[in-house]
Structure 1
């Protein structure tokens, strides 16, 4: 998945014709990172899938079919993931601090959906937060709000 996203941004950087709109790119970035969290413990709990779809619907005002399709594509293509670095560089170039915070919070929401935080899930979220330079205070706030179910955006 991350390989595909990197390839897409390489094409855009070269000025190649790409049939993708920036809004869809942002959606795919979010779906990809949340899918990585949903599969970090080597299983996808139905509760995680439902939360992932709901987050995509709520955040991007998608209908359920579009959100489900985006999530499915992200889950199917995740095996092509290589490195987080190039991907998080794209996040750094295109996301505001608020967007980064919301992305990390959404990742936590997916992780908390099954009632337990796996060590791999926590490690991945921490690593992404570090690579996108999210201040530690916002990282801990995102975790607490996701855990408590609060919506303090």
Structure 2
């Protein structure tokens, strides 16, 4: 996955078609981090996959087919991932604080999908939050909002 993300960023660096690529890059970054949460326990529950699909459709105004393709691509490339740094660096470069907060809330929503917060999921979300410099208060608020969204 990191290889593909790296290639996308290299394409952005050429300034060719930046506007057309930017949305895809942001969607792929988000999908990659959301998929990482969903698969950190080495299994992808159908509820997690459905939630991933719904989150990408809603947040990026995608149809179900496009969102599913992004998810499938992120899942296929997951094994190539070696570090969170490139993802979080891209988030820091391209996301506002509000976008970072929404991303972390979405990560929590994925974690809550199967009604079990695994230690690995919590650790991953906490680590991403630290690496993207999301204040701790927003981290805990994102968790509470995601939990409340699950309960309603």
- TM bin, normalised by shorter chain, reads over 0.9
Is 1:95 matched up with 2:99? no
Gaps of 5+ in 2: none
Contact 2:53 2:71 in 1 (8 A): yes
Q: How many pairs align? A: 149
What is the TM-score normalised by the length of structure 1?
Answer: 0.92
Instruction: Quote how far apart the aligned CAs of 1:90 are.
Output: 1.0
Gaps of 5+ in 1: none
Contact 2:12 2:21 in 1 (8 A): no
Match of 1:86?
Answer: 86
What is the TM-score normalised by the length of structure 2?
Answer: 0.92
Q: Over the residues paired in the alignment, what is the CA RMSD in angstroms?
A: 1.6
Bigger drift between 88-97 and 15-24 goes to: 15-24
Match of 1:10?
Answer: 10
Match of 2:56?
Answer: 56
* In structure 2, C-alpha distance between the alignment counterparts of 1:18 and 1:87, rounded to whole Å: 21
| SS state at 1:21 partner | helix
- 1:98-134 Cα distance to aligned partner (Å, 9 max, x none): 0000000000000000000011111100000000000
Is 1:27 matched up with 2:3? no
Instruction: Quote how far apart the aligned CAs of 1:18 are.
Output: 7.2
